[in-house]
A = this chain, B = another copy of it.
Amino acid sequence: MYWTKTLIPTLKESPQEAESLSHKLMLRAGLIRMLMSGSYMYLPLGLRILNNIQAIIRQEMRSTGAAELLLPALQPLELWQRTGRDETIGEVMIRFVDRRGRKVCLGPTHEEVITELIRTHVSSYKQLPVVVYQIQTKFRDEMRPRFGIVRACEFIMKDAYSFDRDQAGLEKNYRAMHEAYTRIFQRCGLDCLALEADSGVMGGKVSHEFMVPCESGEDAAFRCLACKKAVSFTEGNEPLCPACSTPMKKINVLEVGHIFQLGTKYTAALGAHFIDQAGKQQPIIMGCYGIGVSRLIAAIIEQNNDDSGIVWPKEVAPYQVEIVPLDVADSHLMQEATRIHDGLDAAGIGVLMDDRDERAGVKFKDAELIGVPLIVVLGKKNLEQGKIEVKTRADKKVTLVEKGEVAGFLKNSL
Contact = CB atoms under 8 A, between A and B. Distances in A.
A292 B76 CA distance: 24
A121 B9 CA distance: 7
Contacts of A113: 35, 41
Contacts of A116: 35
Nearest to A110: B41
Contacts of A50: 70
Contacts of A278: none
A72 interface: yes
Contact of A47 (B42, B69, B75): B69
A154 to B, nearest CB: 5
Given A6-B67, A65-B5, A121-B7, A74 B41 contact: no
A43 B69 contact: yes
Interface in A12-62: 33, 35-36, 38-44, 46-47, 50
In the complex this chain forms, how many copies of it are found?
A: 2
A44 B68 contact: yes
Contacts of A94: 96, 98
Nearest to A34: B72
A225 to B, nearest CB: 41
B74 A38 contact: yes
Given A35-B116, A116-B35, A117-B33, A42 B67 contact: no
A102 to B, nearest CB: 7
B70 A35 contact: no
B117 A72 contact: no
Contacts of A4: 127
Interface in A71-101: 71-76, 91, 94-96, 98-100
A340 interface: no
Interface stretch (A137-145, A359-367, A381-389): A137-145
Contacts of A41: 69-72, 113, 117
Given A7-B69, A44-B69, A39 B139 contact: no
Interface in A90-126: 91, 94-96, 98-100, 102, 104, 106, 113, 116-117, 120-121
Nearest to A91: B99
A33 B118 CA distance: 11
A91 B97 CA distance: 12
A116 B6 CA distance: 17
A284 interface: no
A55 to B, nearest CB: 12
B143 A7 contact: no
A5 B66 CA distance: 8
A132 interface: yes
B5 A67 contact: yes
Interface string A135-162: 0010101010000000001100000000
A401 interface: no
A406 interface: no
A34 to B, nearest CB: 10
Contact of A42 (B38, B70, B75, B95): B70
A339 B141 CA distance: 51
A130 B72 contact: no
Nearest to A143: B99
A137 B138 CA distance: 12
Name which of A7, A75, A94 has the most chain B CB atoms within 10 A of its CB: A7
Contact of A7 (B33, B40, B132): B132
Contacts of A39: 72, 74-76
Given A6-B67, A7-B121, A36-B102, 12 more contacts: A33-B117, A35-B72, A35-B113, A36-B76, A39-B72, A46-B69, A47-B70, A74-B139, A94-B98, A98-B141, A99-B141, A106-B106
